[in-house]
Amino acid sequence: MFKRSAIFAVILLLGGCASGTRPVDPTGAMMQRYAGDVPGASLLVLKDGKPVVRRGYGLANLEDNERATPTTNYRLASVSKQFTAAAILLLAEDGRLRLDDPVRRWLPTLPESTAAVTLRQLLSHTGGLVDYEDLIAPGTTAQVSDDDVLRLLSATPKTYFTPGTAYRYSNSGYVLLGLVVERASGISLPLYLQQRIFQPLHMGHTLLYEHGKGPEVANRAYGYSEENGRWTRTDQSVTSATRGDGGIYSSIDDLAKWDAALYDDRLLSAASRKLAFSPHVKVTGEPYEASYGYGWRITGDTLWHSGESIGFRNVIVRWPQQHLTVILLSNRNDPEPYRTALAIAAPYLQ
């Protein structure tokens, strides 16, 4: 999807060459919009497990003039889904649930129309559940919780299609998966992620954030949107309190540890990684060609996922065969970073 001519153009722009010689500054031109006294970004390029680019641009907090750094923690938004999927896979490995379990086994208040929906289908966005965002009453100002989502879906006796027959990206499904993690493990979702993923991988500054319930986010980036030529803090919305679909905060330094764990058995078994990274369904209705695994999009030889919420735009793109990863986290509503990540990766691809 990224044409050869475009790759060579980017290489020339950044001062590299097609023979594999790395440019002196492989990021400056691509990251210019994030630099200065504006909402910024943190960028990591990992090649063969080592950081070849690791730096922050711009500001994490405009009001306090705090610079973005490699340790700045951003709301990951939908990049969180790969962690929710990993939690489900770990519970399956431990025999606490089965991927073919009907979701109603764990969440029995869901309507009869969802009786055929399985955890496996929720992982791949093929369950057909109604988007909870469309069920929120007009004028709602209080943040919607996971329990609110469950109540909304339980009162909605319809699905978009017969489960397993089509693809439709579903935040609803991943909110429910987070609740299933709690039911199957017997502990809260933040605690399960902490004990089974973040602590074993030494991701010491990563957490599933719950306002007023748990620890605050250290080195926190706040989200901003540009309105009429001015940056306005837009850090939270009514849907910013849901968890399994997008509530994790992390930094590029911690995500480097996550990336490393995806190459071996230190967290997930080879069988679980294969499930996560296999193309289970073709993505439709989105402006790119991809298939979907469990918490990962798959395009050619790349594994990737973007994350978008009010004031944040993030992406992680992995080329496992090349042992290359680009992670770009930003606390602003624009630009969308996927194409930027591909351009930054171009000089490092053989």
Sheet holding 50-57, edge to edge: 50-57, 41-47, 324-330, 312-319, 302-309, 297-299, 291-292, 281-282
Contact 221, 314 (CB under 8 A): no
Longest dimension (CA), the chain: 60
Q: Is 278 a catalytic residue?
A: no
Q: What is the pLDDT of residue 8?
A: 35
Hunting for tokens 């954030």 — which residue is that?
209
CATH 3.40.710.10 given to domain 40-337: yes
What single DSSP character describes residue 63? T
pLDDT of amino acid 7: 38
* One pLDDT digit (tens) per residue for the chain, 350 residues: 444 333 333 333 333 333 344 444 557 889 999 999 999 999 999 999 999 999 999 999 999 999 999 999 999 999 999 999 999 999 999 999 999 999 999 999 999 999 999 999 999 999 999 999 999 999 999 999 999 999 999 999 999 999 999 999 999 999 999 999 999 999 999 999 999 999 999 999 999 999 888 799 999 999 999 999 999 999 999 999 999 999 999 999 999 999 999 999 999 999 999 999 999 999 999 989 999 999 999 999 999 999 999 999 999 999 999 999 999 999 999 999 999 999 999 999 97
Task: Give the H/E segment covering residue 14.
Answer: helix 4-14
> Are the beta carbons of 110 and 116 closer than 8 angstroms?
no
What are the backbone dihedrals phi and psi of residue 77, each rounded to the nearest 5 degrees, phi first? 55, -135
Looking at residue 27, its pLDDT comes to: 78
Other CB atoms within 10 Å distance of the CB of residue 58: 22
Element (H, E) at 302: strand 302-309
Please name the residues in contact with 12: beta carbons below 8 A apart, sequence gap of 6 or more. Answer: none
Please tell me the pTM assigned to this model: 0.92
Cα–Cα dist 346/350, whole Å: 9
Catalytic: which of 78, 240, 272, 309?
78
Beta partners for 225?
232
CA gap 209, 108 in Å, rounded: 26
